[in-house]
Amino acid sequence: MALLEVRELRTEFRAARGSVTAVDGVSFTVDAGEMVALVGESGCGKSATAQSIMGLIVPPAGQVTGGQVIFEGQDLLRLRPRELRAVRGKGISMIFQDPMTSLNPVLTVGRQLTESLRLHLGLNRRAARARAIELLEMVRIPAPESRLGSYPHQLSGGMRQRVMIAMALSCNPRLILADEITTALDVTIQAQILELLRDLALETRTAVLFITHDLGVVAGMAERVNVMYAGQIVERAETVDLFHRPQMPYTWGLLGSVPRLDLVRGGKLRPIAGRPPELSEMPAGCRFAPRCVHARETCQDDAPQLTVTWETPDRGQLTRCWGMRPATEGGWLSTKDRFANQSTEES
């Protein structure tokens, strides 16, 4: 059984006229100790998915209107607030993009760590302090004892994110939701923080749902990837398969905007042209069709389902694209069929 199983999750936000659906039938799993990525451009619904899992989307701003979030066998969407609070921290913890918004600026790092340990694990003052020092050592913060007295603003961005990782790990959760945790950091620091999270998660056998807009970041972090577009999963595969054999044109586009050392000299990064649809004006057919140079008439008119388009006995790849046949019928459409409607600007 999966550690986390998200089934047909649907989340709506209140809008000027009625409501808009930011997460539309999203399903995926995370196994114990596994690293899974949720990737997509800004606004595709990644954070809304994570916040829905944690029960952080509440009326009047928004609401989870459908689906299930099964964590260790229980549906988190059916829990009472008190029961859900017990799952947060001890079962699932979350690290956000900007530690300054999640750390309390008027409390020292030590106070914040020890309070969480006392509250969730019932440690006494002395034991909580000892564990806090141990946690800061774990996230490789030098002179941890003296750092306990520091306020968040006295630490660098990278150090603050290390503190957030320490807090996330403090109650030995089974799952960490890591939402764009390095976006606000310098590139060199980004790599250190990612490596730290990966090493600690492996060491402590903690599963991580790794949320990012940067497919480049996924390569070294996740075993499986879910690509999200306009509120839906549009491709899912093992990371190696996704990089080796991306199937959905949106994923090709995301890969085209990842810097690569093996690009031929002079090869340019190609951002995906156009913008995702407005939530209030979703296309009737494939949601990526308006930006897809391979879109055919079917793509404009009919919404494709997420379908197994490649598989071996032990793994598979799912794609939401009319350019792919089910794996049982051969997967790829022939080049002639696939590009039948290819625009001239591509050739």
Ligand X SMILES: Nc1ncnc2c1ncn2[C@@H]1O[C@H](COP(=O)(O)OP(=O)(O)OP(=O)(O)O)[C@@H](O)[C@H]1O
Q: Which is nearer to ligand X, 39 or 139 (CB)?
A: 39
Instruction: Quote the least distance from Cβ 87 to ligand X, whole Å.
Output: 21
Residue 42 or 343: which CB sits closer to ligand X?
Answer: 42
60-64: long-range contacts (C-beta < 8 A, 24 or more apart)? Answer: 60/14, 61/13, 61/14, 62/11, 62/12, 62/13, 62/14, 62/22, 63/11, 63/12, 64/9, 64/10, 64/11
Q: 45 vs 331, which CB is nearer to ligand X?
A: 45
Any residues with CB less than 8 A from the CB of 55 and at least 6 apart, and which? 76, 77, 79, 81, 84, 88
Q: Are 255 and 246 in contact (CB under 8 A)?
A: yes
Binder among 5, 13, 68, 191 for ligand X (CB under 6 A): 13
Each residue 274-303 as x (binds ligand X by CB under 6 A) or -, in order, gives -----x------------------------
Of 94 and 200, the one with the shorter C-beta distance to ligand X is: 94
Listed ranges 25-33, 38-46, 155-163, 307-315: which one lies at the site for ligand X (CB under 6 A): 38-46
Q: Which residue has tokens 């993009």?
A: 97
Pairing state between β 224-229 and 232-238 = antiparallel
Q: Are 160 and 99 in contact (CB under 8 A)?
A: yes
- Of 39-47, 100-108, 146-154, 242-250, which part binds ligand X (CB under 6 A)? 39-47
Residue span binding ligand X (CB under 6 A) among the ranges 44-52, 135-143, 287-295, 333-341: 44-52
Pick from 158, 121, 155: which is nearest to 130 by CA? 121
Q: Does 25 bind ligand X (CB under 6 A)?
A: no
Residue 323: φ, ψ to 5°: -80, -5
What is the size of the binding site for ligand X (CB under 6 A)?
A: 15
Q: Exactly one of 3, 26, 37, 48 binds ligand X (CB under 6 A); which one?
A: 48
The smaller minimum CB distance to ligand X, of residues 48 and 148, is found at 48
By CB under 6 A, what part of segment 92-151 binds ligand X? none
**In the set 6, 9, 36, 45, which binds ligand X (CB under 6 A)?**
45
Interaxial angle between packed helices 109-121 and 81-90, expressed in degrees from 0 to 180 and rounded to the nearest 10? 120
Out of 43, 66, 290, 326, point to the residue binding ligand X (CB under 6 A): 43
Helical packing angle, 109-121 and 125-138, nearest 10°: 120
> Is residue 174 within 8 Å of 206, Cβ to Cβ?
yes
Look up tokens 């923080």; give the residue: 193
If binding is defined by CB under 6 A, does position 46 make contact with ligand X?
Answer: yes
- Which residues ranging from 151 to 180 are in contact with ligand X (CB under 6 A)? 180
Is residue 214 a contact residue for ligand X (CB under 6 A)? no
Span 250-279, contacts to ligand X by CB under 6 A: 279
The number of angstroms, rounded, from the C-alpha of 131 to the middle of its chain's C-alpha atoms is: 29
Q: Which of 26, 53, 62, 163 lies at the binding interface for ligand X (CB under 6 A)?
A: 62
Residues that bind ligand X (CB under 6 A): 13, 22, 40, 42-48, 61-62, 180, 213, 279
